[in-house]
Chains A and B, each alone.
Chain A
Amino acid sequence: MNASPARFLLVVAGLAAALAPLWVLESFHLFQLTMAVIMSLAVLGLNIVTGYNGQISLGHGAFFAIGAYVTSILMAQADWSFYATLPFAAAICGMVGYAVGLPALRLGGLYLALVTFSLAVAVPQLLKHKALEAWTGGVQGLFLMKPDPPRWLTSVLPLNADQYMYLNVLIVSGICFLLAWNLIRGRIGRALMATRDHPTAAEAMGMDIAALKTGAFAVSAMITGVAGALSAVAVEFVAPDSFTFLLSITFFVGMVVGGVASILGSIFGGLFVLFVPNIAESISRAAPGVIYGMILIIFLFLLPEGFAGLVRRLLAKLSSPGNPQPK
């Protein structure tokens, strides 16, 4: 197994890699990276309920949208500061996630996929509804402003708004990733996976399946909702059209490509769904969608377990070459 010093070095390297862009990248690429980190966070959320707990959700775009709109409404209509809105967005998304998790207990596989997908399709329509228009801005959407870096920070470290946003996103995501990692590593994580792989045995052993599954949905929704809140401020604009069912599909693609049930995979997945469409476009301006689909399929042919699967195999080979590895 990895020795502790090696792991510590990895963590330091990871931190350095995460912070380096602040100095290395100019505004536009930093903005892209910020969006990629947000996507990774959203994919992490999806991973918790679908990857680790086996409940297929094709509707995480809905939680992303709710988080984004809670933050936007509080900031635009009630003049809250961005930071104050985050716990609110998390809490409300958690509650909605729990509410979705309850009927989900009765459904499995395909049925749950459809139900969550219809949630994703319904959310834009709900956001546009007349009754909520005064708050949500209806089809016109709401405009926000990125927070400016506070003076005490800029006196030490001159940062522009883009850099400050990146730092914020990094810190919030970092906290969420850490919490998720802790959760997965521990008893609850094992219980989630047990429920996914051997539900009858898990129940026979006395695990409260219902609590686990609804809890998973709640936590998952919270994390993706926080990602949504971050995205609202990063883009400085929300509109129902930003949250179509394509978004849910994008998160799903990110999860599968990155590697299901993998924290590292979520990071890769986020990078993939942000940057590969641009790569596809540079290959073919006429039909970027076709190329993106092809890249996706070829990727899955080569790496059916995603990027994290590749990493796992490489690590296995490195740690004891020549010895047969238990799966």
Chain B
Amino acid sequence: MTISRRLLLAGSAGALAAPNIAAAQEAPGVTATEIHIGSTNALSGPVSSYSVISRCLEAMFKRLNDAGGVGGRRVKFTVYDDAYQPPRTLEQTRRLVERDRVAFLFNQLGTPTNSAVHRYVNQRSVPHLFLATGADKWANPREFPWTMGWQPSYRVEAQIYTKYVLEQRPNAKIALLYQNDDFGRDYLHGVQDVLKDRFRSMVVTATNEATDPTIDSQIVQLQATGADVLICGVVPRFAAQAIRRVHDIGWRPMMFMTNVSVSVGVVMQPAGVEKGVGLITSDYRKDQSDPAWAQDAGMNEWRDFMRRYVPDGDLGDNNYTYGYGAGTTMIQVLRQCGNDFSRENVMNQARNIKPMEVATLLPGIKVQTQPDNYNVIRQMQLQRWNGQSWERFGNVIEGAG
């Protein structure tokens, strides 16, 4: 069965030009009793810590199936391992699309990995939904209409921090510590976006590799520049080290930390809760180890889910709250589909989500999409650490569209 690429490109262009035409007869991955959804994640290798997201999603679909499924059908969720290597992501995605004939793809992990399949899925008109990455480039309905991210972008987060600094300390000297990969680079770009020409005079940077044992050297280096603001785009291990080190060398900058690395149990406690007082972050999720949410209805719903469907899961791991949010969004889209789970309709419903609250998201922050705006979560809330929990302050901020 040979498929001409030009035919595919023409076909998808046609489908997009007339989105209201009824779905084609063939709906791959969908039978009368089952919907087959595919995904890839790093199940082995150095970044396999994210594999728990897939476990969370599997459990959520199991819960859905136990409750009768959706549209009269059960969900079959298949996750393949790509070991965070882009060529393997392509191989596994092609397996899902061409051999397993899944209906669509959901929550694939990583930026370089998803980049490797970005064009492929759009050429084949396969919904590529709610990617597990905070990179900025997925919200591009014009050029890549079948791809959609989920979490707010790291770049927007950095823009929020920079704007706040300019408000509070217009003549600040900013130190930026970021991981030398696409995750950290987004923070660099966010700061550059806001400062533009002033970047060179206002900012000093230092980078780290994921394989570095410690970032003490970078912290010392940044302090020596006399900076009075520190923005960090680093993963939890280095965040904990940074908070501790900054405090121990007697540096007291206005400090910001990426929301990837602000979990109370995983970062603040190992660092030393009193050492991080004053740390600012901008988050969209509730932190399960934060006493503020101990009695919260939404978090209790999540805890109940974990207890029953992921009994050996680590409750302190915020990949589980992340997964719960993405899963809830996906199930909502499935419900909106009614009985039509063709790729066109799934994509249609995905780009028309009315603002929706999710159990694990902060109050006031909603999941929503429009056909011309693929930023699924576009709001964040500034929070400050007070030694015991994260105190929200200011209004819910809507990032760049």
Contact = CB atoms under 8 A, between A and B. Distances in A.
A–B in direct contact per CB < 8 Å:
yes
Interface stretch (B87-95, B220-228, B301-309, B349-357): B87-95
Interface in A281-319: 281, 285-289, 292
A138 interface: yes
Nearest to A243: B85
B116 A237 contact: yes
Given A160-B4, A235-B116, A288-B44, A31 B91 contact: yes
Contacts of B99: 28-29
Contacts of A138: 185
B84 interface: yes
A139 to B, nearest CB: 4
A162 to B, nearest CB: 9
Contact of B43 (A35, A139, A246, A285): A285
B119 A236 contact: yes
B143 interface: no
A128 B81 CA distance: 25
A140 interface: yes
Interface string B24-54: 0000000000000000000111001000000
A68 to B, nearest CB: 10
Contact of A26 (B1, B4, B113, B185): B1
A125 B209 CA distance: 8
A139 B188 CA distance: 13
Given A160-B4, A237-B115, A289-B44, A244 B91 contact: no
A246 B5 contact: no
Interface in A251-298: 277, 281, 285-289, 292
A163 B98 CA distance: 15
Interface in B88-121: 88, 90-91, 94-95, 98-99, 111-113, 115-116, 119-120
A288 B43 contact: yes
Contacts of A121: 211
Contacts of A236: 116, 119-120
25 contacts: A26-B98, A27-B2, A27-B98, A28-B95, A28-B98, A29-B99, A32-B91, A138-B185, A139-B185, A141-B112, A141-B115, A143-B119, A159-B2, A160-B3, A160-B5, A235-B86, A236-B119, A239-B116, A240-B112, A240-B181, A241-B84, A241-B85, A241-B113, A244-B85, A281-B43
Nearest to B48: A289
B180 interface: yes
Interface residues of B, number: 37
Given A26-B1, A140-B115, A35 B91 contact: yes
B79 interface: yes
B112 A246 contact: no
A235 B5 contact: no
Given A28-B94, A139-B181, A241-B85, A292 B44 contact: yes
Interface residues of A, number: 40
A140 B182 CA distance: 7
A31 B95 CA distance: 10
A-B CB proximity, top 8 nearest: A289-B44, A28-B98, A239-B112, A241-B112, A139-B182, A237-B116, A160-B2, A242-B86
Contacts of B95: 28
Nearest to B97: A28
Interface in A136-163: 138-141, 143, 148, 158-161, 163
A57 interface: no
Contact of A31 (B1, B4, B94): B94
A231 interface: yes
Contacts of A235: 86-87, 90, 116
Contacts of B113: 241
Contacts of A244: 85
Contacts, number: 99
Given A140-B182, A143-B119, A158 B2 contact: yes
Contacts of A140: 115, 182
B154 interface: no
Interface of B: 1-5, 43-45, 48, 79-81, 83-88, 90-91, 94-95, 98-99, 111-113, 115-116, 119-120, 180-182, 185, 209, 211
A235 B113 CA distance: 11
Given A125-B180, A141-B112, A281 B87 contact: no
B328 to A, nearest CB: 23
A246 B86 CA distance: 13
B86 A237 contact: yes
A99 to B, nearest CB: 24
B143 to A, nearest CB: 12
A287 B98 contact: no
A314 B192 CA distance: 65
Contacts of A28: 94-95, 98-99
A139 B91 contact: no
Interface centre among A32, A140, A237, A285 (most CB of B within 10 A): A237
Nearest to A245: B211
Given A28-B94, A239-B112, A246 B79 contact: no
Contacts of A163: 2
A288 B111 CA distance: 22
B45 A246 contact: yes
A281 B112 contact: no
Contacts of B43: 281, 285-289
B220 to A, nearest CB: 21
A243 to B, nearest CB: 9
A159 B3 CA distance: 10
Nearest to A250: B85
Nearest to A238: B86
A281 B81 contact: yes
A134 B316 CA distance: 41
B121 to A, nearest CB: 13
Nearest to B87: A235
B85 A242 contact: yes
A161 B83 CA distance: 27
A141 B111 CA distance: 10
A246 B85 contact: yes
A288 B303 CA distance: 28
Interface string A81-106: 00000000000000000000000000
